[in-house]
Homo-oligomer: A and B are copies of this chain.
């Protein structure tokens, strides 16, 4: 059916090994033979069977990526950057969505490992580090992104989520807000840390930390809109009503904003809103959303670099822990007057990433 090395070798009266060597640029092959082989390869449009090669070399040139949701723009951007970092080196990306379900995530990890991936990149929705420990034991290369585990020595790339929470909250404090609420994710490390940043900022400014202002939710990445809207409705009932909200991610912030507007309140005059993620369409929203940029592109890129280094065996010893600085992008949801002025610059930025 399809062509094998054997066919080419037979056609040319050579051995299979010789053909194999030509294809891998092995040095000890005569110029004449090399040309003949390449010629025939081209004629037949032959591509060596990567499966067979992998079996003997132990390298599959496959990299796995497991994320909570493929649709979420943050993970889509990470995927794009990761793909860009490795595709030129002959690797392919095999992606899988965990839907924020630890069980599904575990199943996918096992399944992908059975494919003998060269490396795995995971934004874990799990709280259990068992599988990761086993991967460490089996010296299976992997890199965690976005969500970290305190009690696990592993390569990690993500932003400083405590700083993210602090920055967002301090921005709101700087605007004169005093009743600042937070819609949080209790399910993962990023949520916990952003919350921590939030409380730290309040404390630093001697502002009270009110439990009723902190709404924690699950499934924040795959069911963001419902979760955000529900949480915001809950916040509107508090007394005193918050004059600002920092949301775990942008989709939740967007839903929160709509709940606010539907209640007849103004943004940012009555309630200022900050999100996290800096989605590429934040500029186009009904009220452009101030947000913390999560460096999605850089995360994918750095993860790719680390894992190439691991695969190529250049480094492995100490797990790298790359903490990127988040960046506050101010838009109309916190400061009405700057919104218009900002637009032109942002137009350019958004155009890049669609």
Contact = CB atoms under 8 A, between A and B. Distances in A.
A96 B133 CA distance: 30
Nearest to A70: B80
Interface string A45-74: 101111110110000101000000111110
Nearest to A261: B343
Given A51-B54, A354-B72, A354-B224, A93 B96 contact: yes
A72 B116 CA distance: 30
Given A45-B134, A114-B48, A229 B92 contact: no
The 5 A-B pairs of least Cβ separation, nearest first, read A225-B351, A47-B114, A226-B351, A94-B94, A70-B80
Interface of A: 1-2, 45, 47-52, 54-55, 60, 62, 69-73, 76-77, 79-80, 83, 87, 90, 92-97, 110-116, 134, 138-139, 222-226, 229, 251, 254-255, 257-258, 262, 280-281, 284-286, 288, 343, 347, 350-351, 353-354
29 contacts: A1-B139, A47-B110, A47-B111, A47-B113, A49-B55, A49-B116, A50-B114, A51-B51, A51-B55, A70-B83, A71-B76, A71-B77, A71-B280, A71-B353, A72-B354, A73-B73, A76-B76, A92-B111, A92-B112, A92-B115, A95-B95, A224-B354, A225-B354, A226-B351, A229-B347, A254-B284, A262-B343, A281-B285, A286-B288
